[in-house]
Copies of this chain bind each other. A is one copy, B any other.
């Protein structure tokens, strides 16, 4: 049961939760898509995040999903989203999934936080609930949470909470934030692992700025693997060529709300999950949108062929 730490790097795919058309959890597809993520080169997984439809699961289902994914992942790390309006629920779910072998837990700040001090205090409360020794990931996603965490505030959290080891970076714009954090670290601030989200839409620039990898979803997770790998190896030009080939679909899948429907449709078309059903409230693709995605996949395939 590996734990993440502040040197963790590579690609942690945000896993979808597959449902059958009747709304039940499709455990066979869950196994299959987990296998697919690792075959595509993922270094780890993140489950029960916003794009994993976590709020649509009962608590018992959440724990079942965590148990199954962690078991299937073997010795690869699985981070579990435990965000909740209440600290008690965060502590409860965190204990449960860490007992199952999770590699760490991720918490996004609730929208009720209004000031810098409130954010710092919040992560203090969270760390006390999850307990010493449980690696914490701060999810910094202002577009979704409404909470803006400056590099300075993050620095205060890092200084006060030794268990905060990773930033799921999805501020937008966010490049300057990566540079600011790395600059602070060169002046003595404790290092954080920075894994980038937002569908990977800025991954080449993020890697060049000092990110350690990606923690995000996309119907073609091999994009994140190849871009982080090439960029990590110093071949940024080739990384960009590959990235550009995927970008039209990345952009399309990155649409808020409807994006998950795109992602599940792509995974279904690729044979990785049996159904693209979402539990309510969820979005579905119209016939027009499906044609758009089909076209994007066709053009992407052609472009990748030319690059091979």
Residues in chain A within 8 A of chain B (CB atoms): 54-59, 61, 84-89, 91-92, 111, 114-117, 121-122, 125, 142, 148, 150, 152-153, 172-173, 175-176, 179, 201-202, 205, 208-209, 240, 243-244, 247-248, 251-252, 255-259, 279-281, 286, 288-289, 292, 295, 299, 303
Contact = CB atoms under 8 A, between A and B. Distances in A.
Nearest to A144: B112
A112 to B, nearest CB: 9
A243 B251 CA distance: 12
Contacts of A115: 116, 148, 150, 153
Contact of A58 (B88, B244, B248, B288): B88
A218 B306 CA distance: 28
A59 B205 contact: no
Given A173-B256, A175-B289, A240 B152 contact: no
Contact of A286 (B142, B179, B252): B179
B248 A244 contact: yes
Contacts of A295: 240
A258 B85 CA distance: 18
Contacts of A116: 115-116, 150
A92 B121 CA distance: 31
Contacts of A153: 115
Contact of A201 (B142, B251, B259): B251
A295 B175 CA distance: 15
A284 B205 CA distance: 18
A207 to B, nearest CB: 12
Contacts of A176: 258, 286, 289
Contacts of A259: 173
A18 to B, nearest CB: 16
A88 B65 CA distance: 15
Nearest to A299: B240
A85 B86 contact: no
